[in-house]
Amino acid sequence: MKTGMIITMPRHDQVTEYLSQFSAEIIEEADSKGISVRRLEDSEANSESFEKAVKKLDYNFLFFNGHGSSTEIMGHKTWIIMLGKNESLLHDRITYARSCDAGRTLGFKIIQDSQRACFIGYNKPFQFYTDDNWSSTPLKDNKARLFLEPSNIIPISILKGNSAIVACDKSKKAFMKNIHKLLKERTEGAYLLAGALWNNYTAQVILGNNKARMI
């Protein structure tokens, strides 16, 4: 197995557009560390391209952006990338799914029968809010950043050589910091945003080998 990251970056709606654009800083971190990245963007975010990339490159870190459920992770539009039948591809690797509910059932299937596999994800819907004023330029959207920056800490921390559990802890601390900030400021909508951040904080799970590292 080689050191490297495969990342899915669909962009067919506002949610996936935001997730993919906020992934730019993650790729920059990989580049700064000299870590190879295979991007599956737009229509290339499909099961065939994903399976081909995993088998050919054999990279040890997999990062999914997209919609999902307890049993599947989506790629481009309604195309399914992970459906519980190809989870053996993820054995012995670190997987992070920024996808709703994948930590409820699919995550457990991914780590079963493997002593080395690690899955990080969410056992409830991953939530984030956006500011309509910045819908065309997501990276300037500070409301969305409250949610996506803490979640970005997971892959960035792993790329820096930290263990999966350390990456999760750092992410949770960032979520909590933003919650405290909102509750202290008490601006309009603060409690709504804090509630969604708390959802992500409590929903974030790590399964399997929490000491796993990619470097």
With respect to residue 214, please indicate whether it lies within any of the assigned structural domains: no
Residue 186: per-residue pLDDT: 82
Q: Is residue 148, in this structure, part of any structural domain at all?
A: yes
* Closest to 29 in 3D by CA, of 21, 18, 37: 37
Residue 34 domain flag: yes
∠ CA 185-190-196 to the nearest 5 degrees? Answer: 135
In a domain, 215, yes or no: no
Q: Sort 49 into a burial class: Cβ within 10 Å, 0-12 / 13-18 / 19+.
A: buried
* Domain of residue 33, residue span: 2-208
Please indicate, yes or no, if residue 60 is contained in any of the structural domains: yes
User: Is residue 213 in some structural domain?
Assistant: no
Pairing state between β 59-65 and 73-74: unpaired
To the question of pTM greater than 0.85 for the whole model, the response is yes
Q: What is the pLDDT of residue 187?
A: 86
Cα distances (Å, whole numbers) of residue 148 to 33, 132, 139, 151: 22, 16, 10, 5
118 with 208: CB under 8 angstroms?
yes
Domain count of the fold of the chain: 1
- Report the distance separating Cα 189 and Cα 83, nearest Å: 37
CA distance 62 to 8: 9
From first to last of its 215 residues, the chain has per-residue pLDDT tens of 999 999 999 999 999 999 999 999 999 999 999 999 999 999 999 999 999 999 999 999 999 999 999 999 999 999 999 987 788 899 899 999 999 999 999 999 999 988 899 999 999 999 999 999 999 999 999 999 999 999 999 999 999 999 999 999 999 999 999 999 999 998 889 999 999 999 999 999 999 999 999 98
